[in-house]
């Protein structure tokens, strides 16, 4: 029986790349996002290219009733989810003091509350079966002070480390994936055209490489995956940097 993966934020960027690479491995898919047209286009391509089953779930995860539908699908024991990829997210300007606090609350919910709820929904059935994979897409910002984005991702890394240690011995692994700057539409959604992000060319990663390397780490049961050697080195350096220097590093780029 083919495994089924549920991916949030699947309509573009890393979510869509996870869908493609998991489909190439023979996994059936449940794609979750707000953009029905984008999901439908992706689903058609995946079905025709890989011959896998693709279910589309249109949902705004910040709306309780819609999120609860996704939680129920994750917890469905009749149609089990073997791989959960918590990828949905968005960014805000770094100037916390100027951001609308309600935007900040929604930002916190989508990066912390939503993956926590979906992980909770997945754990019961996965532990009962004795196997499952949970992937929480975090960021190297978890290790470098970067306004509330880094704080949210830091929570996700800490939670994933604990959960992997707790549930890994029972067959359910939890991996926080921490990419650096990756070519997706993430920055365009912040209103930044390509080239305006303030990021050196050498620091950009390709989404295909990020997903491929992270899936290797997931298969190994690792609690944290930092795709690319350059970002592994940066994270190591950041651990020893004084707080004021680390904050200045975190201000670079958008």
Average pLDDT over residues 105-132: 98
Model confidence at 210: pLDDT above 50? yes
How high does pLDDT run on average in the chain? 89
* CA–CA gap between residue 237 and residue 250 (Å, rounded): 13
pLDDT tens digits along 226-239: 987 787 877 776 67
Percent residues over pLDDT 90 in the chain: 75
Percent residues over pLDDT 70 in the chain: 85
* CA–CA gap between residue 46 and residue 207 (Å, rounded): 17
**pLDDT at site 243:** 63
* Catalytic one of 149, 167, 181, 231: 149
Q: Does the active-site annotation cover 181?
A: no
């Amino acid at each position: 029986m083919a495994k089924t993966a549920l991916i949030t934020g699947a309509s573009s960027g890393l979510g869509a790349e996870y869908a493609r690479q998991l489909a190439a491995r023979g996994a059936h898919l449940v794609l979750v996002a707000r953009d029905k047209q984008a999901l439908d286009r992706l689903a058609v391509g995946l079905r025709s290219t890989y011959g896998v089953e693709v279910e589309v779930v249109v949902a705004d995860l910040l709306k309780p009733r819609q999120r609860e539908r996704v939680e129920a699908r994750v917890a469905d024991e009749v149609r089990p989810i073997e791989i959960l990829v918590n990828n949905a997210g968005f960014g805000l300007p770094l100037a916390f003091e100027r951001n609308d606090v309600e935007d900040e609350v929604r930002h916190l919910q989508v990066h912390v509350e939503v993956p926590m709820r979906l992980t909770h929904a997945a754990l019961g059935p996965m532990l009962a079966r004795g196997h499952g994979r949970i992937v929480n897409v975090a960021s190297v910002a978890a290790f470098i002070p970067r306004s509330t984005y880094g704080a949210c991702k830091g929570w996700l890394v800490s939670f994933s480390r604990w959960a992997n240690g707790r549930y890994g011995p029972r067959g359910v692994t939890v991996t926080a994936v921490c990419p650096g700057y990756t070519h997706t539409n993430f920055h365009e959604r912040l209103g930044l055209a390509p080239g305006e992000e303030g990021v050196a060319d050498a620091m950009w990663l390709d989404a295909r490489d990020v997903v491929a390397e992270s899936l290797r780490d997931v298969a190994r049961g690792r609690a944290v995956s930092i795709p690319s050697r350059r970002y592994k080195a940066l994270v190591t350096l950041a651990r020893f940097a004084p707080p004021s220097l680390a904050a200045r590093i975190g201000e670079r780029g958008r």
